[in-house]
Structure 1
């Protein structure tokens, strides 16, 4: 479903469906690792596929603008990308930069107390993941 929706979004925005764009979408489908553009670029190239970093970056930008994926700002220098656009919270480790999903139904209860209509949310909680805490 993700692949079809993403490809349709590209078409609707006037983009041709090229093999490199398909590879990016296939890479993201079901991906829970919140990869950076560089990680996507490197991993696709490891499979002997010819792709430019500009294609990766521009395709990700288009998918974000189309609402197909979410961009998560980890710090001022890097973003990660999440194909899961359902409403959830992200926990970002300030040491290793790992991003984890938190699905919390009680946050929905909190939103009910907002004086107005909530159309969605993007919450990022920053701290140290369990692995980094154990290493300290």
Structure 2
């Protein structure tokens, strides 16, 4: 029953942005729906294969782009320049460990003093750009590397 409810949630999310439900999309969203999951496309592909899902690497790449363009995923670069994906939809920022490469989510609600609106407005007035979103990226040393 829980699996059916989860599938309905993914169908609803896809439908809301005008995409049809497919098993590759559901599996990608399910994997990325967890806090602190930030895989590269290759890491995601390997993880899905380990779970026994028959999915091709090109299918992973194609669906990541479609889901990103639809606003269901966030794409970003890690400190080595690798493209990573994040499906955790609660407003959050990232902590990057400069020694081991760990990436951890930091919920925006845990940083009440950080208000991105003045930053967005200042950048817009100085550059003429329309800023859709501002996120904070913090780099440091994680507890395991200290």
TM-score by length of 1: 0.75
The aligned counterpart of 1:7 is 14
Q: Does 1:68 align with 2:75?
A: no
**Structure 1: gaps spanning 5 or more residues:** none
- Residue aligning to 1:92: 96
Query: Structure 2 CA distance, aligned partners of 1:48 and 1:115?
Result: 44
Question: With structure 2 as the length reference, what TM-score do the two structures score?
Answer: 0.71
Match of 2:41 in 1: 37
In the TM superposition, residue 83 of structure 1 has moved relative to its aligned partner by: 1.3
Deviation >4 Å, runs of 4+:
112-115
Matches of residues 1-136 of structure 1 in structure 2 within 5 Å? 3-8=10-15, 12=18, 17-103=21-107, 104-108=111-115, 111=116, 113-114=118-119, 116=121, 119-133=132-146
Q: Structure 2: where are the runs of 5+ without partners?
A: 1-5, 125-130
How many residues matched? 128
Cα 1:115/1:81, change in 2 over 3 Å: closer
Q: Distance in 1 between matches of 2:26 and 2:90?
A: 22
Q: CA RMSD in A?
A: 2.6
The 2-side partners of 1:66 and 1:46 are apart by 27
